[in-house]
Structure 1
Amino acid sequence: MEILAYGVQADERPLLEGAFTGRHALRCLDVTLNRDTAPLAAGYPAVSSSVNAVLDAETIAVLAAGGTKLIAQRSTGFNNIDLDTAAALGLTVARVSSYSPYSVAEHAWALAMAVNRHIVRAARRSRDFDFRLDGLLGRDVHGMTVGVIGTGKIGAAFTRIAHGFGTTLLGWDLVPDPACLDLGMTYTDLPELLGRADLVSLHVPLLPATHHLIDAAALDRMKDDAILVNSSRGGLVDSAALVETLRAGRLSGVGLDVYEEETDVFFTDRSLQGITDDVLARLVTFPQVLVTSHQAYFTRTAVAQIIDATARNIDDFAAGHTNENTLVPARTT
């Protein structure tokens, strides 16, 4: 089967090509799949999309018109895919239902530690041979109260690391995780968690019910010197409200690996032309904010698992099978 893979990163490409050698013919593109790039897939029965693909009704219609029968997304989240349109047009959709939760949990902690200990500022100073400690005062994580919003696989991995630091654990989720309870986590409602936590980390999926879960009211409940980390989905945080919170001098640190309008910005080089998103441009100017480009998943272990699952999804589709990763099965009539 011929496959066109969109949004392939330079470090990802040799792993992807190696996994498909001898199985399927693969062509890799570094551009994101959207309505403008979808015509490139004409004649390809399968496309593989990255997490930042925009698979709305128009994009899917273009793919279907070009003969595409399978969308194999290389990510867990699928809020970017119009599943109803895919089903109506007869396209099968598959995702990667799970991969190393440690990749994201560890990156979330890297963000938290970096903003708490002002690592980026210190590194920039040392390059200029400025070794002063002014403005670099951090806090012990040991003894902090850590609020984990969402205690699925990634949230639970984040919790285990937090327990190792010696923190008080608060959790918010529909169903408490027994392993987190065994670590001493107390589940509570969201307002109490936000009001008590010194560090808040987000690990819930983006759904209509969680869109802007951290809005102006939620930010108002947080401690003035709290740290906020989001390594899940950008839409969980009202970015404009976050800017206003920071302008008011609140929050001692913010670590963001995702942003609600990251499509067509993240995974690209905008160093020459800049960006037109005023909110993102403002966010990165705050000294206590650290933004990374949706890279929390980007470890050798996690990427290898994502690619293996994607290859299996395509193998199963070619054989007429579904598996646990299938979101929209092939039309049977």
Structure 2
Amino acid sequence: MKISFFSTQPYDKHFFSTYNDSFGFQLEFFETQLNAQTVSLVENADAVCVFVNDRVDAAVIEQLAARNVRIIALRCAGFNNVDLEAARINNIHVCRVPAYSPEAVAEHTAAMVLTLNRKTHKAYNRVREQNFSLNGLLGFDLHGKTVGVIGTGNIGASFCRIMKGFGCRVIAFDVIANREVEASGVEYLPVIEVLQQSDIVSLHCPLNDQTKHIINSSTLAMMKKGAMLINTSRGGLIDTPAVIAALKKGQLGYLGIDVYEQEEKLFFRDLSADIIEDDTIQRLMSFPNVLVTAHQAFFTSEALTQIALVTLQNIQELATKSNLSSKAALLV
């Protein structure tokens, strides 16, 4: 059985090749993203394996079906970039990895909170230049602060536990309350109240029609003046121009993002020698109170191991028409 991988990096090749020994698939790796212009690269493949910025819309799915592809395997939790109805119509199964390592993303979220607050990135650069001044590095105690978590699935629940450990009051919003999270002392409130009461707001919800631009000019105005906003979920949750306006006015005090709405043109690439034409990301990076990382929250050895194993297992079980394992998720 042949699998064509798109948007691959050296670490993808390493982990999938390492764990493929027990499966025996034929693996083909492409660095390019999957889209309408690159789908022609798929030849004699039974499955394609895609990542967060691959575009698997109806046009691409029709071409995959014409090439006898029967499985689209996402090596990530989100699936907003796949047209599930088109996959169903074309009799293509879609699977994902819903819980590879929620701790990886939650811990990176906490690291962004701490970095923005205590300015460790700036302190590190200062000391290397023999500047031992503390001016401009003032932070605040996390203990006793109110942290609002929007989305309490596996990652959001893990982040709640971390922030409870810091002694924070944790409040949350989700369509369905997580009873285990609630039992730990997290209070569920309407999203407006979460925004109004929180010193720190962290986004952990999926991107869909209901959540797109959930952070916009109206919701930003509801937040405490000077609050911190963290997004390690999907870039489309944030209306970036509205966030920039809030930063300029001082309504938003800190911003940490590991995802960006237009990231497919930037992230996972070395552009250090290029002129970046995206004025929005350049403006964001010009703020001293903004921290940007390039979609690395998932990037731990434990997470990559689980992603490889579960993805390969998903494909094997779909190919043999057996029931999916408890960690797998069949979408279509």
Category of TM-score, reference length = shorter chain: over 0.9
What amino acid sits opposite 1:311 in the alignment?
L
Whether the aligned pair in 2 keeps the contact of 1:202 and 1:230 (CA below 8 Å) is yes
Aligned pairs (5 A) from 1:65-84: 65-84=66-85
Aligned to 2:187: 186
Whether the aligned pair in 1 keeps the contact of 2:243 and 2:252 (CA below 8 Å) is no
Aligned to 1:203: 204
Give the Å deviation of 1:218.
0.8
Give the Å deviation of 1:151.
1.4
Aligned pairs (5 A) from 1:35-46: 35-46=36-47
- Alpha-carbon displacement from aligned partner over 1:181-217 (angstroms, at most 9, x marks no partner): 2332221111221111111111111111111111111
Q: Alpha carbons of 1:285 and 1:56: their partners in 2 closer, same or farther (altered >3 Å)?
A: same
Give the Å deviation of 1:132.
1.6
Distance (Å, rounded) in 1 between the aligned partners of 2:285 and 2:3: 37
What amino acid sits opposite 1:9 in the alignment?
Q
Distance (Å, rounded) in 2 between the aligned partners of 1:27 and 1:52: 18
Aligned to 2:92: 91
Distance (Å, rounded) in 2 between the aligned partners of 1:13 and 1:134: 45
Aligned to 2:331: 327
Provide the aligned C-alpha RMSD in A: 1.5
Aligned to 2:17: 17
Distance (Å, rounded) in 1 between the aligned partners of 2:135 and 2:219: 31
- Alpha-carbon displacement from aligned partner over 1:216-248 (angstroms, at most 9, x marks no partner): 111111122211111111111111100111111
Give the Å deviation of 1:322.
5.0
Secondary structure in structure 2 of the residue aligned to 1:140: coil
Whether the aligned pair in 2 keeps the contact of 1:42 and 1:67 (CA below 8 Å) is no
Distance (Å, rounded) in 1 between the aligned partners of 2:49 and 2:101: 20
Aligned to 1:52: 53
Q: Alpha carbons of 1:322 and 1:86: their partners in 2 closer, same or farther (altered >3 Å)?
A: farther
Whether the aligned pair in 2 keeps the contact of 1:45 and 1:68 (CA below 8 Å) is yes
List runs of 5+ in structure 1 lacking aligned partners.
329-333
Distance (Å, rounded) in 2 between the aligned partners of 1:175 and 1:240: 30
Give the Å deviation of 1:99.
1.6
Aligned to 2:5: 5
Aligned to 1:314: 315
1:134 paired to 2:135 = yes
- Alpha-carbon displacement from aligned partner over 1:153-208 (angstroms, at most 9, x marks no partner): 11111111111100111111122222222332221111221111111111111111
Q: Which moved further from structure 2: 45-54 or 158-167?
A: 45-54
Distance (Å, rounded) in 1 between the aligned partners of 2:52 and 2:285: 22
Q: Which moved further from structure 2: 266-275 or 209-218?
A: 266-275
Distance (Å, rounded) in 2 between the aligned partners of 1:250 and 1:135: 19
Secondary structure in structure 2 of the residue aligned to 1:51: coil
Secondary structure in structure 2 of the residue aligned to 1:320: coil
Give the Å deviation of 1:127.
2.6
Distance (Å, rounded) in 2 between the aligned partners of 1:57 and 1:125: 51
Distance (Å, rounded) in 2 between the aligned partners of 1:184 and 1:327: 32
Secondary structure in structure 1 of the residue aligned to 2:72: strand
Question: Which aligned runs of 4 or more in structure 1 are off by greater than 6 angstroms?
Answer: none
Aligned pairs (5 A) from 1:1-333: 1-21=1-21, 23-321=24-322, 323=324, 324-328=328-332
What amino acid sits opposite 2:71 in the alignment?
L
- Alpha-carbon displacement from aligned partner over 1:118-166 (angstroms, at most 9, x marks no partner): 1222222223222221211111101111111111211111111111100
What amino acid sits opposite 2:12 in the alignment?
E
Aligned to 1:331: none
Whether the aligned pair in 1 keeps the contact of 2:226 and 2:250 (CA below 8 Å) is no
Give the Å deviation of 1:82.
0.9
List runs of 5+ in structure 2 lacking aligned partners.
none
Give the Å deviation of 1:66.
2.8
Distance (Å, rounded) in 1 between the aligned partners of 2:104 and 2:28: 27
Percent identical across equivalent pairs? 41
Q: Which moved further from structure 2: 295-304 or 319-328?
A: 319-328
Distance (Å, rounded) in 2 between the aligned partners of 1:150 and 1:52: 21
Whether the aligned pair in 2 keeps the contact of 1:116 and 1:252 (CA below 8 Å) is no
Distance (Å, rounded) in 2 between the aligned partners of 1:269 and 1:64: 33
Distance (Å, rounded) in 1 between the aligned partners of 2:183 and 2:62: 49
What amino acid sits opposite 1:290 in the alignment?
L
Distance (Å, rounded) in 2 between the aligned partners of 1:317 and 1:176: 31
Whether the aligned pair in 2 keeps the contact of 1:104 and 1:296 (CA below 8 Å) is yes
What amino acid sits opposite 1:80 in the alignment?
N
